[in-house]
Amino acid sequence: MDLQQLLETHIMDPKNPLKIYNLAKEYDRLENGAMGVSLYLKTADMSKDPELQYKSLIGIARCYDRQRDRNYTTEGSLLDAAALLPNRPEAHYHLCAVYEKMNNWKKCLLHANLGLNIEDLTPNEELGFPGKIDLEYYQALAKWSITAQQDGKQLFFNLKHKRNLRPDLLEKVNLALKWNFYPDVIPYEASDIERFKFSFDGIEEIKNNYSKHFQDMFVLSAFRGKRNGSYLEIGSGDPHVHNNTALLEEQFGWKGISIDNSEALCYEFKQARRNTVICADATDIDYTDLFQKHCVDNKIDYLQIDCDELSISVLELIPLKTFKFGVITFEHDSYRLGTDKKFAAKKILEAAGYICAVPNVGFHIDGYPYEDWYYHPDVVDMPQEMKSKKDVNFIWDYMMGPIKEEE
């Protein structure tokens, strides 16, 4: 009905809250805020229906929100609505938008979390609620704004790479990631299983991995979920955090030797892990002697070299003529050190029969390559689909297929 019809209906039944509300909505649509607010207030006063009262309070807030510098009035009406029906998401969503304007990120996060805990997050066009994903955006924005830590970056990453976003929201998320950069870690989660490109036996048992950028999942994919494999981990670091062999050892029974020059980390490793850890300078080890002392077979499934600027110095010490490794993840950090070490390693490894399966593994959609992943065909039958033809491989796109429409 148009405004004239609504007025006539109201005049014939002036105490009917629903008819008053419908008239208020029309004035609201016409951006006549004064009449809209007056009639929404009248509806809330006269109605005994909590849902109609709730909608009227949100209508009041949206009328005030169109005006300048009325954030506190808008906030008050939305807080009344949230208190009236706390298990409805619309008021929480609009409060997030108000607190964004006010730069009150703690309250924004509070209402984003409250909204996301509600079971029914069906979009509501009448009340201006676009849906769950917008609450997730505010959750990410507020977390980042409060702490500027990795959890906020991770939420933005998940929105961009795990969700189908409207163009307007995608633009906001892209801008946030440009400001904040990508998270340090891009983890595998059990919910990613259907998109994971290189499935293997036992992947359904994995709830999460430990590597920063899927190195452990790559090794398991290359060996098709092999049990009781072997490894040499140079630059092991923490026994679990960002570690490339913890998953192999703990869920797939792999045995191996880890090396690090930090006494504190090696102590933690001994407390948390079963396999051998050696505290030593990786550039001052006789690896042939090490392998003989530990009765290492001349074919080892996985070699990690993660020693920053010294990775090439370590590689030069490995007896590649007498020992072969199925998969090698080699850190060259070319995004910050240049490509000299990368190409020096490439020359050494290709001369020993290794093939680069994934060159320039990067941790950002724009690249930032820092590792090359090699394999030796005498040790592992690398699946053809795992061999990348790209010059630079953003790790998420390399490992994951496209988002399904229903997601």
pLDDT at 72 over 60: yes
- pTM tops 0.75, yes or no: yes
Report pLDDT digits (tens) over 248-258. 999 999 999 99
Residue 179: the pLDDT is 87
Sheet holding 255-260, edge to edge: 276-279, 255-260, 230-234, 299-305, 324-331, 367-375, 355-364, 393-394
Q: What is the DSSP string of 354-401?
A: -EEEEEEEEEETTEEEEEEEEE-TTT----GGG----SSEEHHHHHB-
Q: Is the pLDDT of residue 350 over 50?
A: yes
Could you report the per-residue pLDDT of 361-397, keeping only the tens digit for each?
999 999 999 999 999 999 999 999 999 999 999 999 9
**What phi, psi does 339 have (nearest 5°)?**
-105, 5
Integer Cα distance of 229 and 108 in angstroms? 48
| DSSP letter, residue 251 | H
Band of residue 12 on the pLDDT scale cut at 50, 70, 90: confident
Radius of gyration (C-alpha) of the chain in whole angstroms: 29
CATH architecture of 49-180: Alpha Horseshoe (1.25)
Helices 17-29 & 50-65 angle (0-180, nearest 10): 20
Note the pLDDT of residue 8.
Answer: 73
Cβ atoms of residues 161 and 396 within 8 Å: yes
Spans of all domains in the chain: 49-180, 190-399
Model confidence at 407: pLDDT above 50: no
Instruction: Name the phi and psi angles at 356, rounded to 5.
Output: -80, 110
For all residues of the chain together, what is the average pLDDT? 95
217's CB contacts (< 8 A; 6+ apart) are 188, 196, 198, 206, 209, 211, 247, 399
pLDDT of 212 above 70: yes
| Mean pLDDT in residue range 264-282 | 97
Q: What is the pLDDT of residue 405?
A: 66
DSSP assignment of 37-59, as one string?
HHHHHHHHHH---HHHHHHHHHH
Distance between CA atoms of residues 335 and 338, nearest Å = 6
pLDDT confidence bin for 265, thresholds 50/70/90:
very high
Helix (H, G, I), strand (E, B) or coil at 273: coil
220 pLDDT above the threshold of 90: yes
State percent of the chain over pLDDT 70.
Answer: 99
Burial of 89 (0-12, 13-18, 19+ CB in 10 A): buried
pLDDT of residue 260: 98
Q: Which of 68-72, 125-129, 336-340 has the lowest mean pLDDT?
A: 68-72
> What number is the average pLDDT over the span 215-220?
98
Residue with tokens 């830590």: 149
Residue 404 pLDDT > 90, yes or no?
A: no
* Amino acid residing at 266: C
Token output for 376 = 């030796």
Homologous superfamily of 190-399: Vaccinia Virus protein VP39 (3.40.50.150)
Residue 406 confidence (pLDDT) above 70: no
In this predicted structure, the answer to whether residue 224 has a pLDDT above a threshold of 70 is: yes
User: Do residues 21 and 39 make contact, with C-beta atoms less than 8 angstroms apart?
Assistant: yes
